[in-house]
Amino acid sequence: MPANKTRNVVDYLQTILDKQDLQSIYSILHNGVQSSELRKLNLPHTNSRILIENKHIIYCTCYYKLGGLFKKGENHKGTTLFGRIICDQIKETRQNRGFFTTDELPSYGISELEKKSILAIFDARERDLVACFAYNEVEANMTNLLLEELLNTTTAQFNQLYNSELNSSST
């Protein structure tokens, strides 16, 4: 996303996505952003280069009822683009490699069994999203705070968009 458009994700998404793709993102975000505390997880037998470089440790936060928000693939154009924009903003702001989520797993050398371990530390379900940060605890926490801020801001932007559409259609 161009740097001059980083403040309003929804305005930018409206220029490149159709209403159905926008609605697919909002249908997940409309419940609001509720997250758990940051938790440390050690995956000593992982084949993930990302985790091995971080001494097999990731810090994770569960975002309840946000599962699917970072889903990738041809059939998930809206959430694929949304995820890229949010991750790029985090990478630019924090000057790090961003984050990954359980929506993207198994991938990055992380197995399906390891994904289940990540979900299990929160008793999370597929409808939940776990964000993972392969950094030291301080950087993981700072990155997570930024992610939560971006999710809250984007939710507010979507609410404003859809509330103004409802108001304009009722008049």
**CA proximity to 62, closest of 28, 35, 32, 29:** 35
Q: Is there a domain that residue 159 lies in?
A: no
SS3 115: helix
pLDDT over 80 at 12, yes or no: yes
pLDDT band at 6 (very low <50, low <70, confident <90, very high): very low
Confidence of residue 74 (pLDDT cuts 50, 70, 90): confident
32 within domain boundaries: yes
Inside any domain, residue 169: no
d(CA 66, CA 128): 5
Specify if 132 maps to a domain: yes
Structural domain harbouring 128? 3-149
Q: Are 136 and 3 in contact (CB under 8 A)?
A: no
Which pLDDT score is estimated for 166? 57
Helix/strand/coil percent split, the chain, to 5: 55, 10, 35
- With respect to residue 161, please indicate whether it lies within any of the assigned structural domains: no
Q: Where residue 32 falls among pLDDT bands split at 50, 70, 90?
A: very high
Among residues of the chain, what percentage have pLDDT more than 70? 92
Residue 39 pairs with which residues in a beta bridge? Answer: 60
Number of domains in the chain: 1
In tens, the pLDDT along 105-138 reads: 999 999 999 999 999 999 998 899 999 999 999 9
Q: Identify which has the larger pLDDT, 7 or 146.
A: 146
**H/E stretch holding 94:** helix 77-94
Between 15-24, 31-40, 159-168, the lowest mean confidence (pLDDT) is in 159-168
Asked whether residue 157 is domain-assigned, the answer is: no
SS3 134: coil
- Whether 54 is in a domain gets the answer yes
Identify the CATH number of the domain in which residue 95 sits.
Answer: 3.30.1360.30
Whether 163 is covered by a domain: the verdict is no
